[in-house]
Chains A and B, each alone.
Chain A
Amino acid sequence: MDNLEDLKIVAEQWWKQGIEFVQQIPPPQLYTAIGVLLLATIWLLSIRLFRRTKSNTVLLCGLSGSGKTTLFFQLRDGSSHQGAVTSMEPNEGSFVLHNENNTKKGKVKPVHLVDVPGHSRLRSKLEEYLPRAAAVVFVVDALEFLPNIRAASEYLYDILTNASVVKNKIPVLLCCNKTDKVTAHTKEFIRKQMEKEIEKLRVSRSAISTADIANDFTLGIEGEVFSFSHCQNKVTVAEASGLTGETDQVQAFIREHVKP
């Protein structure tokens, strides 16, 4: 307890000394010092702001088991290692895509890739990342597509109506994963089915939209059947295979929105 009192006294002494010291400095010097300090802070702040406007964050999202983690490591290391299990936490990393590594080293801007867990309990994580995303890759399991179509569509609907996605016009890639399998559905089929499902959702959700605080925006054009082209942000479709490493279309999409 005395300790504290002592410290207080010492602090006060130092404080006085500091003030005296400041008073000794001639005013021009003091002002320049303050000026430099202010400039430095403004500069740092502006850098931060500048960076934020040109985000390089790309999100990988989709239902649990659609192959996001595999895709993430495929993009990062060019290998899916020993496979993956259900994620409990997001995988995050800033890196140059694996394929670009050899071509032009050191000149490529790294991509900040985030693999958001698909488990519905962890959905809330997505909202943390969406505001600073430059692009979103929505991964769909093309193999087990039909059993999961409603859940997947609902997830996609939530993303497409998310405030920051609409405001920042974040482009979305509908990535049909696992196309290496013979029985996988084609991307056209998946696109059509999901459009149909979202159309249904649009009807049911608009009925309760006033209650749903999360969905501030309605999707598509009133009175027309929903199509991804109606979205304010760009929605494209691509195929990929996380297991065999065919991720060219995904890479092209990422590079389109995060310029090297």
Chain B
Amino acid sequence: MLEQLLIFTRGGLILWTCKEIGNALKGSPIDTLIRSCLLEERSGAVSFNYDAPGAAYTLKWTFHNDLGLVFVAVYQRILHLLYVDDLLSMVKQSFSEIYDPKRMAYDDFDETFRQLRIEAEARAEELRKTKQVGKPVSSVKKQGQVSKPGLEGGNKRVSEGGSKKDDGDGNKAKVSTLTNGHSNGNHQMEDDSQETDLANGKENTSSNVAVDLSKLQKLRSKGVRGRGGVRKTDSIGNKSSKVAAAEPAKKATKKNRVWDDAAPKQSKLDFTDSVDENGNNDHVDIVAADQGESMMDKEEVFSSDSESEDDDEPGSDEKPAEAKKKGWFSSVFQSITGKANLERTDLGPALKALKERLMTKNVAEEIAEKLCESVEASLEGKKLSSFTRISSTVQAAMEDALVRILTPRRSIDILRDVHAAKEQRKPYVVVFVGVNGVGKSTNLAKVAYWLQQHKVSVMMAACDTFRSGAVEQLRTHARRLQIPIFEKGYEKDPAVVAKEAIQEATRNGSDVVLVDTAGRMQDNEPLMRALSKLINLNQPDLVLFVGEALVGNDAVDQLSKFNQKLSDLSTSGNPRLIDGILLTKFDTIDDKVGAALSMVYISGSPVMFVGCGQSYTDLKKLNVKAIVKTLLNHGASNPRVILVGGSVGSWKVPDSPNNTLNHWAENNRFKVGDFIVWKYDMKVDSVLQVTKEDYESCNTANPLKQYNDGDTKVELDKSGPYFFISGAPGNCAKGEKITLVVLAERKSGGGGAPQVSPDTAQTPAPAPAPGAAHNAAAGLKVGSGWFLTAVVIGLAMA
């Protein structure tokens, strides 16, 4: 039976509930739906499962975007109500007719609803009967037949008395047909729910214990199987085949490493006990606290300077099929007056272009797909306001969605959490997990350095008891940073080592314990089990997933498998999942920042740190706005203007040999077309561009170029090394010099991606000749054509 049907505004006000059904819902399924599904840009999904003690609901919903209404139906999961989708669309149809924003009570809707419900139930009943007879009708066709009378919505089929009574039995019968399995053709709605169920079943059986996994988990796993967004009006065939094609591709990840041959050698490699803690560290230079402050504490320098707006759209992609048929004048007119309501077909091309753009930015395909579906769901039926193009509306909606996703849901103020833990007199435990070679240990050291700078006493725990040399590596970091390290050598159970480390930290009063773990592939069952044990045994305050920014589609697989395994293998009822993400190698990816989005979307946890270089200071926070901007920018990135030395250092004698301009230069990437700028006092200093020999010998006698205007701007117009020294006598010898290497030119966005950038694919015609007319008809290009129309209309009005 239907448990509840609600109609509420997007603002959150309930307009109408079905009093007749009147069952009190257990828990708060609606709020949970909104928080963990609709607001997470997952509204493209088919249904949402809610678990609470004593209740298991399935929720279905539909939007009326123009009026800003949401319709939600709640029913018991064990019942497979076939008419819900139908009923929702009928309710939507008839409610939107009587809706008035000023009106708050809709008591008269009760009667309408009753009729609609009876009608829907009767239809479902009929459908079931016909199916039992066994007519093999193709699903799509049937769908059409079903939804049509629903829209007509008349009282054509007034209930035949008994249908309501029958309902209970009918449902049971439906359930039985479902469980019996495959006799029932392939009606789409049924298939859907069945699939969902199968998924749930699988999950539950595999976990056995974790019956009430968090709902998020379920959603996530649904996402992984890649069929979240099957919508009933879409043609299903296409989509499912696409998903099927995507599946095997995903399976082909890295093979597991063969670990066996490491075993016999291990006794030789295990030097951990023999090495003297305090001895022979002479060759390791201690950095302590004079490497300058961690980049976490500096503001972004140029990433946001470079965001010059260019809104040129890749024209050919966005031509709506119909717009071509209509004259361009009418579409110009339409754009001025505002289009009636956006339809799916209007949005299609713009969304497709957007999806492709996201994918060129390395966003995983299924995530780009789901995002687009969610944006589509939020725009469909909306009124296009005057003087806007579809593509810009879509882009704005996508921007909103991206900002929403990337904005952290929980506080990412780790220092605050550390202080809170300190008050409770227990150490704050951070566990670093991730696949092999993503930089767990390196970034652990960076985090340690950052924490240390904020007067937090840190301890490292070497729980990578698996890979040879891991403990030594961490010990080197610890020595350089002068941080105590807890180690027990190899061949120990990492969970036990971590436990002892935490106990040790409690004893000696360390505030934070950073636990390094062995890298593991997400499919490696024994290792994942060990990780799960470590996490469940120690209950860390923060489980940080370390992921490479380079990763593409695999990001989804890694994160979701990690989360899945952590919850499946957990022994407690409330499994610990990944709390945050550390994105590494961010300096190597240019504008392909999509992994950040993929990871945040799939895990729902925020990016807490971004590793962007080799030194201890290279740890940053994620700049959400810059990321969104980069994601939505298309084509090659724009030329940047970079201030030499970033925000702090400029053209002056460096204060310490560790803090030279070259140090800065090594941590930045320069591209052909970038500008670099010096700011200095023109009376005492100057900039000389010199040859390599002169650079090394600090010879100021014969520079290639000389600048002394106080505000020197040099374009990096070719790839290769550049050498600059100070013109002031003696300054160069003191270290006031810089050499930087400009990377070779690459096609749009680097990475040698095979796809042709839209910009190069079509050169926009400059004059308001045929080309412009074409563009105006399609995407309504702002330009000379626009100006002309504006003039014409202005004159016509005068």
Contact = CB atoms under 8 A, between A and B. Distances in A.
Given A11-B791, A84-B12, A203-B419, A119 B413 contact: no
A82 B12 contact: no
Given A119-B39, A200-B420, A4 B768 contact: yes
A122 B299 contact: no
B404 interface: yes
A10 B328 CA distance: 18
Contact of A207 (B17, B327, B415, B773): B415
A201 interface: yes
Interface in A1-23: 1, 3-4, 7-8, 10-11, 14-15, 18
Contact of B10 (A77, A87, A208): A87
A86 B297 contact: no
| Secondary structure call for the A interface | helix
Contacts of A81: 13-15, 104-105
Nearest to B34: A86
A150 B416 CA distance: 10
Contacts of A14: 792, 795
B296 interface: yes
Given A7-B792, A211-B296, A117 B12 contact: yes
A66 interface: no
B407 A121 contact: yes
B13 A11 contact: no
B415 A208 contact: yes
Contact of B411 (A1, A90, A91, A151): A151
| Secondary structure call for the B interface | mixed
Contacts of B34: 85-86, 88, 119
Given A11-B788, A150-B420, A154-B413, A89 B68 contact: yes
A204 B418 CA distance: 9
Interface in A99-142: 115, 117, 119-124
A245 interface: no
Contacts of B30: 85-86
Contacts of B405: 121
Given A11-B795, A81-B105, A200-B416, A154 B411 contact: yes
B795 A18 contact: yes
A1 B39 contact: no
A80 to B, nearest CB: 9
B788 A8 contact: yes
Given A4-B768, A121-B404, A208-B415, A90 B11 contact: yes
Contacts of A201: 416
Given A120-B408, A208-B454, A87 B792 contact: no
- 10 closest A-B pairs by beta carbon, nearest first, are A87-B12, A91-B11, A204-B416, A89-B10, A86-B34, A69-B12, A82-B14, A204-B415, A211-B297, A88-B10
11 contacts: A3-B327, A14-B795, A82-B17, A85-B12, A90-B11, A91-B11, A122-B39, A154-B413, A154-B416, A207-B454, A213-B300
Given A4-B772, A204-B419, 18 more contacts: A3-B329, A7-B788, A11-B791, A11-B795, A64-B35, A73-B13, A73-B104, A77-B104, A81-B14, A86-B35, A87-B10, A115-B11, A121-B40, A124-B404, A200-B419, A200-B420, A203-B419, A207-B454
Interface of B: 6, 8-17, 30-31, 34-35, 38-40, 68, 70, 104-105, 296-300, 327-329, 403-405, 407-411, 413, 415-416, 418-420, 454-455, 621, 768-770, 772-773, 785, 788, 791-792, 795, 798
